[in-house]
Chain A
Amino acid sequence: MKYFAILKDSLREALDSTVLLVLWGLSTLVIVFVALLSFSPQPAEETMGQFMGPDSRFFYAINSHKPEVMMAEGSKQAVHRPVRFNLEKVTLLRGDANSPESDYELTITAKIEENAARKKMMHGGMPEPPDAEKKKLPLPTDEQIIKWARSPFDSADELGLLKFEKIELTASVGGSKTLRVVVLGTSRTHRIWASHPNIAGYPLEGISVPLGFQLYNLTSTVLAIGAWVAVLAGVVITSFFIPNMLRKGTIDLLLVKPIERWMLLVYKYIGGLSFIFLSTAYAIGGIWLVLGIRTGLWANGALVMILTITFFFAILYAVSTLVGVVTRSTVTAIMVTIGAWFCFFVIGQFYTVMTTIDRGEKMMAEVGMGKPEEQRWGDGYIAKSARVLHFVTPRTGDLNTLNDMLVFTDFMTGDLRDMPKLYSTDVNFLESLIVSTLWIALCLGLASLWFTYKDY
C-alpha cells in the first residue's frame, strides 16, 4: 500500500539520521534505569503511621491534586485546638504479618495540644492566629477528634485503597484519648504500602511514602523530561522529512507517481507521526513493563500517554509540515516549530495565571472587598486578549495536565475512572481536543493547498 511505502521511506530516512538512534538509545537508558529500581515493603506500622494527622503523609499524597481539599483541611483545624495523633500499636487480625492483604487493628492516641505549636499548613491554610488567641480556641469534641482521625482512612476507603471497618474511642484521660481503628486490606492496599526505594539493590535514604505515590513521582519526573526530549528530538528528525522530499530533483520523482499531491503530503505527515508513535510506545511500554515486573503495579492506564504524547507531537508536526512545505527549509521548520511550541506554552501559562487572578478578584468581590469591576485586571483588555488567544491555539498545556492525571490515577488506584476523585481541574478536555484537532487540520489543509498549486 502506498501509505506503507511512504512510512517505510520515512523510517529509512529517520534511521539514516543518528538522532533517531540517539532517541532510542536514551529511551533504552531510561528503561534500564527504571529496571534498576526496586521497592522494599516496610512493616505495617510504617504504612499505618502514614495515616496519622494532622500532617498525614497519606492525606497529602492522595489529595495532592485537589487544592480545594487541602485548603479546607487547613481551615478546618484552625478553629480548634489542634490534635496530634500517634500510632501506638498495630495488631494483626487476619492474614500474613506485614502483608497489604491482611486486616489490622490500630491503637492510636490523640493528644490535644496545649499551646498549639502547629506547623503552618503547606497548602493555603488560613493565617495562623496569634498565640494569645490560640489559647482561647475551643477544645475539639470527641466527635471532632474521631472525625479528624478517620478522615485519611475515609479518603483511602473511598478509593478502595483499604476497607475502613470501624473507629471507636476506647479511653479518655484528660486531653489524651485512645482510639481503636480496624482496617481491612484490599487488592489495592499494596499501592499505599510504605516502601523504601532501592537502586540496583542499594537502599536510597529518605522517608518511606506510599508505593503508588513514589511511582507516580518517579514516572512523572522521568516522563516530563523524557517526553520533552522525545518531542524535541521528534521535531528535529521529522523537520527534515518535508524539505528533503521537496528538494529539486527529488520531488519530481514523487510527483509523477500516480498519487494526489495532498495525499502524498498527508501520508508523509502520518508517516512521521507513526514513527513518533512507535518511539513513544517503545519508551512508555518499556517503562510500563519493567515497573510492572518490578513492583507488581501494572500501570495500564498510563499507556494512554502513548496517545497523548503522539497527539502533542501531532500538533507540532502539523506546524512543521506547513512551514516545511512553504519554506522548504529544515532549519526554518525546526525554529518556527519550537517557537510555536514555546508560544503555546506561554499562552497556556499566561492563561492559567490570568484565570487564577480572575478567580481571586471574583472571590474578593463576593466577600465585598473587591475592586470595582472596571478596575479588575481579570476583565481588562489584556486578559480578554489572552482568553481569545488561548481559545484559538492548541492546548499543549492541557495535554501535560492530562498526562499527569493519567499517571497519578493509574499508580494510586489503577482505574482511570477514579480520575475525578483524585484530581480536580477546570480544563475542558473536549474543547481542548476539538480546538487542537482543528488546528492540525488547518495547518495540513493550508500545507496541502500550497503543495497542490505550487510549480516544481
Chain B
Amino acid sequence: MPVLETRALRKQYGEIEALAGVSLKVDEGEIYGLLGQNGAGKTTLIKIMLGITGGWEGDAMLLGETAGTSHVRSRVGYLPEDHQFPDYHTGYSLLDFYGELLGLASSSRSELIPKMLEQVGIADRMDYKIRTYSKGMKQRLGIAQALMHRPDVIFLDEPTDGVDPVGRRDIRELLLDLKKRGSTIFINSHLLGEVELICDRVAILMKGKIIREGEIKTLTRQEGQFLIGLAPGKHLPVTDLASMGYDVSPVEDRWEVRLRDDQNIDAVVDFVRSRGLNLRHLVEKRQTLEELFLETHDGNENKPEKPRESKREQSENVKVLKATDEDRAS
C-alpha cells in the first residue's frame, strides 16, 4: 500500500486553481521530490495531505487514511516553507513544546531533543531564544522539529533554504539515514542539484498539473544521444561516420553521437569495431535535472494543449549498452 496517494486531486482558492487534478503515488521508503515553478501548487499539495487546507476534491490518502485525519499526524513530520517559530521559545523549549503536543513522553523528549539538535548542528545554541538565531540556524531547527519524533512520513517544503553547504550535506545524510530506517520523505524544492542527489523519484508540477513524473534516472536519460570513449591516443573516424550520415562531434576526449530516428547505435558500434578500435566507454547521454526541468517547462509553455508523449514510450526506444554511475554526474 502506498504511503501517500492522490487521485484527481483538485483545489480551488476562489478563482485560482491551485491543483487541477493531481494523481501521484509515493511508496514506503521512497524519497520523492516535487518540482515546479512558484505558484505551481507544491505547497498546496502538502497542506492538503496534512489537513492544513481543506475544501479539496478527489482522493487524497496518507498512511491509509483520508488526508487530514488528526491521529495519523503523530506519525508525520513537517517543515513548512517560510516557517516562523514563536521566538519567545528557545530551540530546546520549542522542540519540547512540539514534542509534548505530539504525545512524546517527557523522558523520551529529554533524550531525543538534544540528540536531534546535535544532529542538525545547533546543540550549542539550544538554550538561546530563537530570535537570536540566524536564518540557517532556524532552518536547521525546522528540520529538527520535523524529524525529532522519528516520523514515518516527512514533508519538507524547501528544506535547505538558507543552509550552508556543510549543513546541506548533514541534512542530506540525515534524510538518507531516515530513509534507511524506512521513513518516506516528500520534498518540495527548487534546488534541483539537491533533489537530484537524494530523490528516488520526482514529479514536475505546472499550473496545478503533473506534467512529468518518474525515476530521476529515467527522466534524465537522453534518447538518441550517446557518448563514445576510446583507449587513449585512439581516434574515432569522424569523417567516415559523417559521410555515412551520422552526426558526430568531439566533446573533450570523447565523441558525442546524435542519432536520427531511423539510425541505430549498433551500426556505429559495429563500424568502430570493424576499424579495430575498442570501445572503452559507451553511455546514453544524461541531462542534469535542471536541464530536464527547463526543457520540460519550455516544452509545455510552447504547446500547452498538446499532451507530451508518455515516459513509457520513450524508455522503450532507449537502448543502454553500458552506464556507469559516474556518468550520471557528467
Contact A258–B103 (Cβ < 8 Å): yes
Q: Give CA–CA (A250, B13) in the complex, Å.
A: 21
Pick the most buried of A252, A254, A453, A455: most chain B CB atoms within 10 A of its CB.
A252
Query: What's the interface size class on B, roughly?
Result: 20 to 34
Q: Give CA–CA (A249, B86) in the complex, Å.
A: 10
Contact A259–B53 (Cβ < 8 Å): no
A5 partner, pick from B52, B54, B86, B101, beta carbons under 8 A: B101
> Is B73 among interface residues, defined by CB-CB distance under 8 A?
yes
Q: Give CA–CA (A12, B86) in the complex, Å.
A: 10
CB neighbors of B among A1-33 (8 A): 1-2, 4-6, 8-9, 12-13, 15-16
B20 to A: closest C-beta gap in Å: 17
B70 partner, pick from A4, A249, A251, A259, beta carbons under 8 A: A259
Contact A453–B54 (Cβ < 8 Å): yes
Q: Give CA–CA (A145, B103) in the complex, Å.
A: 77
CB neighbors of B among A225-260 (8 A): 244, 247-260
Binds A, one of B76-84, B159-167, B204-212, B245-253: B76-84
B64 to A: closest C-beta gap in Å: 15
Contact B101–A254 (Cβ < 8 Å): yes
Contact A257–B84 (Cβ < 8 Å): no
B75 to A: closest C-beta gap in Å: 9
Cβ contacts under 8 Å, A254 to chain B: 101
Contact A256–B50 (Cβ < 8 Å): yes
B52 to A: closest C-beta gap in Å: 5
A16 partner, pick from B47, B85, B88, beta carbons under 8 A: B88
CB neighbors of A among B39-83 (8 A): 47, 50-55, 70-74, 76, 78, 80-83
> Is A381 among interface residues, defined by CB-CB distance under 8 A?
no
> Is A456 among interface residues, defined by CB-CB distance under 8 A?
yes
Name the residue of chain A whose CB is nearest to the CB of B79: A253
Q: Give CA–CA (A255, B76) in the complex, Å.
A: 12
Contact A5–B97 (Cβ < 8 Å): yes
Name the residue of chain A whose CB is nearest to the CB of B68: A255
Contact B83–A250 (Cβ < 8 Å): yes
Contact A249–B74 (Cβ < 8 Å): no
Q: Give CA–CA (A456, B50) in the complex, Å.
A: 11
Contact B98–A257 (Cβ < 8 Å): yes
> Is B258 among interface residues, defined by CB-CB distance under 8 A?
no
Contact A256–B54 (Cβ < 8 Å): no
Q: Give CA–CA (A254, B51) in the complex, Å.
A: 11
> Is B189 among interface residues, defined by CB-CB distance under 8 A?
no
Pick the most buried of A247, A256, A259, A453: most chain B CB atoms within 10 A of its CB.
A256
Q: Give CA–CA (A4, B109) in the complex, Å.
A: 15
B130 to A: closest C-beta gap in Å: 11
Name the residue of chain A whose CB is nearest to the CB of B50: A256
Q: Give CA–CA (A248, B47) in the complex, Å.
A: 13
A249 partner, pick from B53, B55, B84, B88, beta carbons under 8 A: B84
Cβ contacts under 8 Å, B74 to chain A: 257-258
> Is B236 among interface residues, defined by CB-CB distance under 8 A?
no
A144 to B: closest C-beta gap in Å: 72
Pick the most buried of B85, B88, B93: most chain A CB atoms within 10 A of its CB.
B88
CB contact under 8 A between A4 and B89, given known A248-B82, A250-B84, A456-B52: no
CB neighbors of A among B82-114 (8 A): 82-86, 88-89, 93, 97-98, 100-103
Contact A2–B101 (Cβ < 8 Å): yes
Pick the most buried of A5, A251, A453: most chain B CB atoms within 10 A of its CB.
A5
Name the residue of chain A whose CB is nearest to the CB of B84: A249
Contact A256–B83 (Cβ < 8 Å): no
Contact B53–A455 (Cβ < 8 Å): yes
Cβ contacts under 8 Å, A253 to chain B: 78, 80, 83, 85, 98, 145
Q: Give CA–CA (A6, B98) in the complex, Å.
A: 10
CB neighbors of A among B1-59 (8 A): 13, 47, 50-55
Q: Give CA–CA (A6, B102) in the complex, Å.
A: 12
Contact B86–A250 (Cβ < 8 Å): yes
Q: Give CA–CA (A9, B83) in the complex, Å.
A: 18
Contact B86–A456 (Cβ < 8 Å): no
Name the residue of chain B whose CB is nearest to the CB of A455: B53
Contact A13–B70 (Cβ < 8 Å): no
Q: Give CA–CA (A256, B101) in the complex, Å.
A: 10
Q: Give CA–CA (A5, B50) in the complex, Å.
A: 21
Cβ contacts under 8 Å, B98 to chain A: 253, 257
B73 partner, pick from A6, A251, A256, A456, beta carbons under 8 A: A256
A451 to B: closest C-beta gap in Å: 12
Cβ contacts under 8 Å, A6 to chain B: 101
Name the residue of chain B whose CB is nearest to the CB of A12: B88
Q: Give CA–CA (A16, B130) in the complex, Å.
A: 12
Contact B51–A249 (Cβ < 8 Å): no
The interface bits of chain B over 227-251 (1 if a CB of A lies within 8 angstroms of the residue's CB, else 0) are 0000000000000000000000000
Cβ contacts under 8 Å, B54 to chain A: 453, 455
Cβ contacts under 8 Å, B101 to chain A: 2, 5-6, 254, 257-259
Contact B86–A256 (Cβ < 8 Å): no
Q: Give CA–CA (A2, B98) in the complex, Å.
A: 9
Q: Give CA–CA (A260, B83) in the complex, Å.
A: 21
Contact A456–B53 (Cβ < 8 Å): yes
Contact A455–B55 (Cβ < 8 Å): yes
Contact A247–B84 (Cβ < 8 Å): yes
Q: Give CA–CA (A239, B84) in the complex, Å.
A: 19
Pick the most buried of A249, A258, A259: most chain B CB atoms within 10 A of its CB.
A258
B41 to A: closest C-beta gap in Å: 14
Cβ contacts under 8 Å, A255 to chain B: 50-52
Q: Give CA–CA (A16, B90) in the complex, Å.
A: 12
Q: Give CA–CA (A13, B86) in the complex, Å.
A: 8
Contact A252–B51 (Cβ < 8 Å): no
Contact A248–B51 (Cβ < 8 Å): no
Cβ contacts under 8 Å, B83 to chain A: 249-250, 252-253
- Chain A residues in contact with chain B, CB under 8 A? 1-2, 4-6, 8-9, 12-13, 15-16, 244, 247-260, 453, 455-456
Knowing that A248-B82, A253-B78, A254-B101 touch, tell me 8 more A-B residue pairs with CB under 8 angstroms. Answer: A2-B100, A9-B89, A257-B102, A258-B72, A258-B74, A258-B101, A259-B70, A455-B13
Q: List 26 A-B contacts (CB under 8 A).
A: A2-B100, A4-B100, A8-B97, A9-B86, A9-B97, A12-B93, A15-B88, A248-B84, A249-B81, A250-B83, A250-B84, A252-B52, A252-B80, A252-B83, A253-B83, A253-B85, A256-B50, A256-B73, A256-B78, A257-B74, A257-B98, A257-B101, A257-B102, A258-B101, A453-B54, A455-B54
